[in-house]
Amino acid sequence: MKTPFLTGLVLAALAFQPAARAASLLDGYADAARAADAGFAGFSAGRGRALFAATPGTGKPDTPSCTTCHTADPRAAGRTRAGKAIAPMALSVSPDRYADPAKVEKWFRRNCNSVLGRACTAREKGDFIRFMATQ
């Protein structure tokens, strides 16, 4: 009687884990954003959407936007320049995203440099993940 219930609890806890890790990553970005700007008033999904869709024109010519590889639809699979599939960025479709800080940082570094020609700020990173958490 008890075993299926306990198994259910464990499975529920495991399923919830990635979202919890994404949330703790966001806490870290919030601390950094506050340190950089005392007026920081929280992350914004709207700013994250704008960053995702922007074509800043300051990066590499073949990667004008995040949407170049991730497509304009966060729930859709993307494609690398070499044609390799990229799992969707929306947390609702890819619940294991934003759970590994080293992976998140590696790709923010690489992709922000390609698209913006600079690193993303902690606020931009938090905005981006907040947006993807709403998609």
Tokens of 135: 């998609």
Task: Annotate each residue in 57-96 with x if it binds ligand HEC (CB under 6 A) or - if it does not, as one string.
Answer: ------x--x-xxx---------xx----xx---------
Considering only the stretches 7-15, 29-37, 39-47, 104-112, report the one whose residues sit in contact with ligand HEC under the rule CB under 6 A: 104-112
In angstroms, rounded to a whole number, what is the distance separating the alpha carbons of residues 30 and 94? 23
Q: How far is CA 110 from the centre of its chain?
A: 13
Which amino acid, one-letter code, is at 119?
Answer: A
**Is residue 43 part of the contact set for ligand HEC (CB under 6 A)?**
no
Residues 48-66 as b/e (b if ≥16 CB within 10 A, e otherwise) read: bbebbeeeeeebeeebbbb
Q: What distance in Å separates the CA atoms of residue 41 and residue 111, rounded to the nearest whole number?
A: 25
Query: Of 4 and 61, which CB lies nearer to ligand HEC in the complex structure?
Result: 61
When binding is defined by CB under 6 A, the residue of 26, 91, 112, 133 that contacts ligand HEC is 112
Quote the CA–CA distance of 90 and 19 in Å, as a whole number.
12
Taking the complex as a whole, the smallest distance from the CB of residue 104 to ligand HEC amounts, in Å, to 4
For ligand HEC, the closer CB: 40 or 71: 71
Contact between 135 and ligand HEC per CB under 6 A: no
Q: Which two tokens stand for residue 99?
A: 């759970």
Based on the shown chain and the rule CB under 6 A, indicate whether residue 128 belongs to the binding site for ligand HEC: yes
Could you list the residues that contact ligand HEC (CB under 6 A)? 63, 66, 68-70, 80-81, 86-87, 97-98, 103-104, 107-108, 111-112, 114-116, 128
